[in-house]
């Protein structure tokens, strides 16, 4: 059977965006599900972020897949749907399936006639069973996925059926490893900052924290599972690339595991440079372990610093503080680990608060500060609390670069303050780069060519971001959400005393999986 | 089923699954909430095609080898002139849609035809005038009338989502209904000729050339919409890999203060070399005579 897996692009072809300037990682979601079936079936991955627009149609015509699958985060939900609609039009006999973060958390949005199957939760086993079942049927009119847990499927009469929730308790070691050969033709084109070629792997799923702006912990049902140290290092050894990005949502979380990981790297003598994501409180509290991780190849860390204000951090349920952020970044600087920090400005901010954040970033000396806008992403507690106040429901604007809630400042002024970040944070970048170069000269010198490449792209991107009109043009005609006409007095933002919502009950997590099927006459969940 | 009918049935399937008819832009319009401003860009690019369509039929009518073919072509033409739409010809209906988007049909008539539309029109002008009659018939029959209902079915839900009234989008809804008839009529015209391998090859050549031009046209419209939103965010080579020197050159060019002025002037110069819609129509009809 021929299977085409498509990574959608969050924006139209050729457009310069944060994703293709700062960080472009391998489509691990697709190499994972592809790896689960690639032994027995002919699988192709098409990464639309790196392809011309017409290659989707051309591939559909040439490859004539029996199954077309795609994945979707919130911002690329429309693009993912467009991919499957195109597939259904060109190859009507192909089964179309979608999975990933957004379809799992907002499945009703994907209840469309051109989408046969919505996969909820992690996909490897579900996809294996789905492919096996479809291989024996091969007729959309006769489609029957009864018993394939984790699916919402549409039968020949157009009725959507909801199957039981797929258990997400399996050890990660027991899952088939991602098949990176499926993206070998894009090798060399994935990168993080100036580090390329870059491979991407994951070593854990889930997060033990419960920030109200993040849905990861709900997606994985408050469970964190880890790949064993042996399996991680197996994957690292299998990568030809010099740089690896460990895509875990929070890599720095279990000291015992991290020590075992270092032991394994040292035992096998693996020489790779790697970057990952982790929390600053862990960094601040574990200086010795961080030093050991640095010695085992850790080159960069992407962390959510989020705010310069302890009250604001508390309102987000971040469970970290100003002091830890500061100590963490000092330690990273001393160790020569490049720090990339994500900060969130809030739609209710004043000009003074913007300036406070920029001053704070310059005090920290973050290598690459990324300033984003607090966004209630679908699936999060914040979304459930604020969805009636959204000024837009256009998912493309949920890219953390547009306020989707009403702003205290007029939007023009808000964007002017936001756009100012490019220049306001330069002292931070300059100081951090000097410190990093001093400590890691041997690594950086051979990469000067890539540094020039990165600089050129970011320079052009900065030109766009520096212009507030860029954001205003993006949202022109699209601010028609329920909160578009609310006045500032109608809005109540979460604060330290009352983070939104007041608590994170398990009931809310479960409701993601057992919601009724409002747009169909499907059977009740089994 | 006769040889000709089977050939035409196969072509219909081929056309309905063609990448030009199922372009990613059309599927985006179906799935994403585009605004009236976006649709204005689409309409300004699309209206020249609508205005020119009757001229293709007029040329073919004069070149038709017999009365039967002329009859089917004339039936379609009468509808295009407004028979099925209360006397409003299709260009007028499209003008109403453009007005609803916030555009000005009169200004569009006076301005140079946008490049994607101009290239599409030039391709079709050549197909009608320089290729055998059946190539032209393949382009306007299967290439247009079989393709348009499928394309508009993707566009209409997005227009409704953007808040256009049924009256404002009547051009599109009318075509989903009318072009089913037009497609059948032109299929009748084709059925009489499509019984030899040579004729079939000519019909297919016209249809495929038209759809390929359509694909390039939608590419251009997509680019125009992105450029409208982000004039400096797009590069013609899109996501293809660039060498380090090329990346540096692009950046250096963007860094020159006068670069944007040079680009604007160049674009304006190229635009001034393209005709307006009345000019294109006059040229097409003079050739017809």
In-domain check, residue A482: no
Residues of A in contact with B17 (CB under 8 A): 61, 89-92
Give CA A366 to chain center in angstroms. Answer: 21
Interchain pair A456, B223: CB under 8 A: no
Same domain, A117 and A213: no
Residue whose token pair is 């912990």? A217
Q: Pick the more confident residue, A53 or B138.
A: B138
Which of A192-196, A273-277, A467-471 has the highest mean predicted lDDT (pLDDT)?
A273-277
Q: What is the pLDDT of residues A343-388, one digit of tens each?
A: 999 998 999 999 999 999 999 999 999 999 999 998 888 898 888 8
Instruction: Name the residue range of residue A313's domain.
Output: 187-469
Min Cα separation A320/chain B (Å): 37
Same domain, A257 and A358: yes
Q: Which residues of A340-374 are buried (b: 16+ CB within 10 A; e: fewer)?
A: bbbbbbbbbbeeebbeebbebbbebbbbbbbbbbb
In-domain check, residue A164: no
In the DSSP assignment, the letter for residue A164 is P
Interchain pair B254, A474: CB under 8 A: no
In the DSSP assignment, the letter for residue A110 is G
Q: Assess whether pLDDT exceeds 50 at residue A446.
A: yes
In-domain check, residue A179: no
In-domain check, residue A481: no
Lowest-confidence region among A113-122, A306-315, A496-505, B80-89: A496-505
Same domain, A335 and A445: yes
In-domain check, residue A475: no
Distance CA A116, CA B167 (A): 34
Q: Are A233 and A203 in contact (CB under 8 A)?
A: no
Chain A contact present for B19, CB below 8 A? yes
Q: Give the per-residue pLDDT at A484.
A: 82
- CATH number for the domain harbouring residue B186: 1.20.910.10
In-domain check, residue A165: no
Distance CA A107, CA A85 (A): 16
Q: Assess whether pLDDT exceeds 90 at residue A436.
A: yes
Q: Give the per-residue pLDDT at B231.
A: 74
Q: What is the pLDDT of residues B225-247, one digit of tens each?
A: 988 887 776 665 666 778 889 88
Cβ-based neighbours of A46, under 8 Å, separated by 6 or more: A4, A5, A6, A7, A55, A56, A59
Q: How many domains does chain B have?
A: 1
Mean pLDDT of A57-85: 95
Instruction: Name the residue range of residue B129's domain.
Output: 3-288
Residue that is last in its domain, among A151, A174, A202: A151
Interchain pair B239, A13: CB under 8 A: yes
- CATH number for the domain harbouring residue A91: 3.40.50.2300
Min Cα separation B10/chain A (Å): 14
- CATH number for the domain harbouring residue A422: 3.80.30.20
Q: Are A500 and A385 in contact (CB under 8 A)?
A: yes
Min Cα separation A457/chain B (Å): 7
Q: Give the per-residue pLDDT at B238.
A: 63
Q: Pick the more confident residue, A267 or B69.
A: A267
Chain B contact present for A90, CB below 8 A? yes
Same domain, A195 and A145: no
Interchain pair A57, B22: CB under 8 A: yes
Same domain, A394 and A448: yes
Q: Assess whether pLDDT exceeds 50 at residue A515.
A: no
Same domain, A340 and A266: yes
- Mean residue pLDDT across chain A: 89
Cβ-based neighbours of B137, under 8 Å, separated by 6 or more: B60, B69, B186, B189, B190, B193, B203, B206
Residues of B in contact with A478 (CB under 8 A): 33, 35
Q: What is the pLDDT of residues A145-163, one digit of tens each?
A: 999 999 999 999 999 999 9
Three-state DSSP at B114 gives: coil
Interchain pair A477, B36: CB under 8 A: yes
Sequence length of chain B is: 289
Same domain, A202 and A317: yes
Chain B contact present for A56, CB below 8 A? yes
Same domain, A80 and A129: yes
Residue that is last in its domain, among A469, A503, A519: A469
Q: Give the per-residue pLDDT at B247.
A: 84
Interchain pair B19, A52: CB under 8 A: no
Q: How many domains does chain A have?
A: 2
Residue whose token pair is 């019984």? B195
Q: Assess whether pLDDT exceeds 90 at residue A514.
A: no
Q: What is the pLDDT of residues A202-238, one digit of tens each?
A: 999 998 888 889 988 888 888 899 999 999 999 999 9
Please count the CA atoms within 13 angstroms of the CA of A351 that sit on its side-chain side: 6
In-domain check, residue A508: no
Closest-CA residue to A484 (of A394, A399, A353, A351): A394
Same domain, A128 and A263: no
Same domain, A132 and A270: no
In-domain check, residue A394: yes
Q: Give the per-residue pLDDT at A420.
A: 95
Chain B contact present for A451, CB below 8 A? no
What the block records as the tokens of B150 is 């499928």
């Amino acid at each position: 059977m021929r299977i085409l897996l498509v990574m959608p692009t969050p924006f139209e072809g050729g457009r310069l965006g944060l994703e293709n300037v700062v960080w472009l990682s391998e489509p691990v979601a697709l190499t994972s599900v592809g790896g689960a079936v690639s032994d027995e079936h002919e699988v192709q991955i098409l990464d639309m972020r790196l392809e011309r627009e017409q290659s989707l149609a051309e591939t559909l015509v040439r490859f004539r897949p029996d199954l077309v699958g795609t994945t979707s985060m919130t911002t690329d939900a429309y693009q993912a749907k467009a991919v499957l609609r195109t597939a259904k039009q060109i190859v009507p006999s192909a089964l179309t399936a979608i999975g990933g973060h957004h379809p799992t958390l907002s499945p009703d949005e994907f209840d469309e006639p051109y989408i046969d199957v919505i996969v909820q939760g992690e996909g490897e086993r579900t996809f294996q069973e789905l492919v096996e079942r479809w291989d024996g049927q091969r007729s959309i009119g006769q489609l029957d996925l009864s018993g394939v847990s984790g699916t919402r499927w549409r039968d020949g009469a157009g009725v959507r059926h909801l199957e039981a929730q797929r258990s997400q308790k399996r050890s990660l070691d027991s899952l088939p490893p991602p098949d990176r050969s499926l993206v070998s033709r894009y090798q060399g084109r994935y990168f993080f900052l100036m580090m390329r070629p870059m491979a991407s792997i994951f070593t854990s799923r889930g997060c033990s924290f419960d920030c109200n702006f993040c849905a990861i912990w709900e997606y994985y049902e408050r469970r964190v599972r880890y790949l064993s140290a042996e399996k991680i290092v197996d994957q690292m050894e299998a990568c030809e690339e010099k740089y690896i990005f460990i895509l875990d949502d929070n890599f720095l979380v279990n000291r015992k595991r991290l020590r075992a990981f270092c032991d394994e790297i040292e035992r096998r003598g693996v020489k790779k440079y790697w970057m990952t994501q982790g929390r600053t409180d862990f960094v601040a509290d574990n200086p010795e372990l961080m030093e050991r991780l640095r010695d085992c190849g850790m080159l960069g860390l992407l962390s959510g610093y989020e705010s310069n204000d302890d009250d604001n951090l508390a309102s987000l349920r971040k469970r970290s503080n100003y002091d830890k952020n500061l100590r963490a970044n000092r330690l990273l600087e001393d160790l020569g680990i490049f720090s990339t920090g994500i900060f969130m400005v809030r739609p209710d901010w004043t000009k003074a608060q913007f300036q406070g954040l920029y001053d704070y970033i310059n005090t920290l000396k973050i290598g690459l500060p990324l300033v984003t806008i607090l966004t209630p992403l679908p699936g999060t507690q914040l979304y459930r609390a604020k969805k009636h106040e959204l000024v837009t429901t256009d998912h493309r604007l949920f890219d953390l670069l547009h306020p989707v809630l009403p702003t205290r400042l007029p939007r023009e002024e808000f964007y002017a303050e936001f756009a100012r970040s490019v220049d306001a944070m330069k002292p931070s970048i300059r100081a951090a780069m000097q410190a990093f170069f001093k400590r890691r000269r041997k690594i950086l010198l051979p990469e000067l060519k890539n540094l020039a490449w990165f600089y050129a792209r970011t320079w052009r991107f900065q030109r766009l971001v520096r212009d507030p009109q860029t954001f205003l043009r993006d949202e022109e005609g699209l601010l028609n959400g329920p909160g578009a006409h609310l006045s500032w007095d109608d809005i109540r933002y979460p604060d330290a005393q009352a983070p939104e919502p007041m608590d994170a009950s398990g009931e809310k997590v479960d409701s993601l999986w057992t919601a009724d099927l409002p747009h169909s006459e499907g059977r009740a969940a089994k | 089923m006769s040889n000709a009918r089977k050939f035409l049935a196969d072509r219909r399937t081929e056309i309905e699954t063609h990448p030009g008819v199922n372009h990613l832009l059309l599927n985006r319009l179906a799935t994403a909430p585009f605004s009236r401003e976006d649709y204005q860009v689409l309409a300004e690019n699309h209206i020249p095609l609508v205005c020119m369509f009757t001229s293709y039929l007029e040329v073919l009518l004069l070149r038709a080898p017999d009365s039967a073919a002329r009859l089917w072509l004339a039936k379609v033409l009468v509808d295009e002139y407004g028979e099925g739409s209360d006397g409003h010809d299709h260009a007028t209906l499209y003008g109403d849609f453009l007005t609803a988007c916030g555009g000005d049909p009169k200004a569009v008539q006076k301005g140079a035809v946008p490049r994607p539309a101009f290239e599409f029109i030039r391709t079709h002008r050549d197909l009608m005038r320089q290729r055998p009659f059946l190539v032209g018939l393949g382009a306007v029959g299967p290439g247009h009338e079989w393709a348009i209902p499928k394309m508009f079915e993707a566009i209409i839900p997005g227009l409704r989502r953007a808040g256009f009234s049924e009256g404002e989008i009547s051009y599109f809804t009318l075509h989903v209904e009318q072009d089913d008839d037009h497609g059948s009529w032109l299929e009748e015209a084709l059925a009489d000729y499509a019984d030899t391998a040579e004729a079939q090859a000519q019909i297919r050549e016209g249809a495929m050339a038209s759809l390929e031009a359509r694909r390039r046209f939608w590419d251009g419209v997509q680019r125009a919409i992105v450029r409208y939103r982000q004039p400096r965010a797009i590069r013609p080579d899109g996501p293809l890999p660039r060498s380090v020197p090329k990346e540096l050159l692009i950046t250096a060019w963007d860094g020159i203060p006068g670069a944007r002025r040079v680009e604007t002037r160049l674009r304006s110069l190229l635009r001034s070399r393209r005709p307006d819609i009345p000019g294109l129509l006059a040229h097409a009809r003079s050739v017809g005579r």
